[in-house]
Amino acid sequence: MTDAISVIQREHNGIWRVLDTAEALAREYRESGTRPDRALFAAIFDYIELYADRVHHPKEDDYLFRLLRARAPESAGVLDELEAQHEAGPALVTDARVALERYAADPAGEGEAFREVLERYLAFQRDHLRLEEKEVIPLARKVFTEADWREINRAFADNDDPLFGERQQDAFRDLHQTIVNYAPAPIGLGLTRETPQGPEAERFTPSAAPAEEALLSVSGLETYYGRIQALRGVDIEVPRGQIVALVGANGAGKTTLLRTISGLQPATKGTVHFHGRDITRMTGERRVAGGIAQVPEGRQVFGPMSVEDNLILGAYTRGRSAAVTRDLEHMYELFPILQEKRHQAAGTLSGGQQQMLAIGRAMMTRPQLMLLDEPSMGLAPLLVGEIFRIVERLREEGITVLLVEQNASGALAIADRGYVIETGTITLSGTGSELLADEEVKRAYLGM
């Protein structure tokens, strides 16, 4: 069942990222003295107006606020204020659009006016989101009955609804993708509009066997760094076709577990089974050839080499062939920014671009299992969401993912299953949604 509050919070996170992006762009234009990218700001305003004002807010008014008025009459004042803000929002976006056109025509004369209008609108939206998150969501969790939750969750899960359904969501994902692609690095990917955009990419088909209960099974795994024990009897399973998140604090053993699975760190005790076959003593090279790829923490691209050479190196164990050439073209379809910069030294890319290169390089091995180590680390907020979208795309492409992340909320939100590791020991496991709702996880990893 869809958790409506989780949906609202995810939508809030998306709106926060877009607001932060608009503010960062305005600051960059002010400091550089360049004209604003009208198309980029138009996409930002479209996203805010169409998504926040036409989809997000009506869902809240029709379901969350209505039910809250019935269960908590004392909330009427706050809800009246929020609904009035919902009504006022579109006019403020219109004001920002008009100011943008004036700014684009006269950067020297209208720049300050545009920034004032934009800052006023951003402050308005931020105050609105904070009020909802501080007052409304906690109260809903407190007073709603099971029947209330069934009604609101059913409404939020209705993918056929003409206003809230999948077709509308696809349109907003496209708008968000436009913002991510064309916002300058490091805010976004910095794609230029001249970059050829290929047709909808064909599904990348890794060499895959029929579905089975667990693609990867780790049992009683232990390893040491000298005399220090880093893993203590770790047991996890990664079902085929799923995203499994591993969350925990720094030094908990997350990276060590990935290194032991990929063969970079020797196991002292326990077993690692892949496709039901014991690979505990197998070399790392053979594990890569067998279908396991790791994207290390910090990307670790080959900086002096070109983007294209980095991608081709990912297929080193496959040799050069027509299939490798096709896969290279597929990477460019998935990541147009890499095609645009294919002859550029990888070390000159932004952090988000390097992360895409590292994922693309791993995909060139045609993996069945991808081990992702802290893919969102050090990225701008807008790009964090984009990286998690890419991880979901890997699952759609048929690749099983074991995802290590300190960003527990983001990782668990997209994960089918999750594990919590502390000092080398698995302490909690469950579905991603179960762990997100777990009070201990909230307190320790989500700051709630």
Task: Per residue of the chain (448 residues), give pLDDT as tens.
Answer: 346 777 777 777 778 888 888 888 888 777 777 777 888 888 888 888 777 666 667 777 888 888 899 999 999 999 999 889 888 888 888 898 899 888 888 877 888 888 889 888 889 988 988 998 889 888 988 998 888 888 887 776 664 444 444 555 666 677 777 788 777 777 776 776 555 444 333 334 444 444 447 899 999 999 998 889 999 999 999 999 999 999 988 889 999 999 999 999 999 999 999 988 999 999 988 898 888 999 988 878 898 999 999 999 988 877 777 888 888 998 988 888 899 999 999 999 988 899 999 999 999 988 999 999 999 888 888 888 888 988 998 898 889 999 998 888 889 999 999 999 999 999 999 999 889 888 888 887 766 5
* 6 in Cβ contact with 413 (< 8 Å): yes
Instruction: Find out whether 124 and 91 touch, Cβ atoms under 8 Å.
Output: no
Is the domain of 245 the same as that of 128? no
Q: Give dist(CA 338, CA 349) in Å, integer.
A: 9
My answer on whether 163 and 225 are in the same domain is no
Is 192 part of any domain? no
Domain presence at residue 197: no
- Strand ordering across the sheet containing 228-238: 228-238, 216-225, 269-274, 277-278
Count of domains observed in the chain: 2
Helix (H, G, I), strand (E, B) or coil at 199: coil
Check whether residue 249 and residue 162 sit in a common domain. Answer: no
The helix (H) or strand (E) run that includes residue 175 is helix 166-182
Q: What are phi and psi of 428, to 5 degrees?
A: -145, 150
pTM: 0.67
In a domain, 96, yes or no: yes
Closest CA to 444 of 431, 235, 423, 320: 423
Do the domain assignments include residue 327? yes
- In this structure, the answer to whether residues 74 and 20 fall within a common structural domain is yes
Whether residues 165 and 271 fall in one domain: no
Residue 430 placed within a domain: yes
Question: Which ranges in 266-345 belong to alpha helices (H)?
Answer: 284-290, 307-314, 322-334, 336-340
Domain shared by 357 and 222, yes or no: yes
Statement to judge: residues 177 and 274 lie in one domain: no
User: Which CATH number is 241's domain given?
Assistant: 3.40.50.300
DSSP helix/strand/coil, 345: strand
Whether residues 231 and 380 share a domain: the answer is: yes
Residue range(s) defining the domain that contains residue 115: 4-182
Give yes or no: residues 57 and 132 share one domain.
Answer: yes
245 assigned to some structural domain: yes
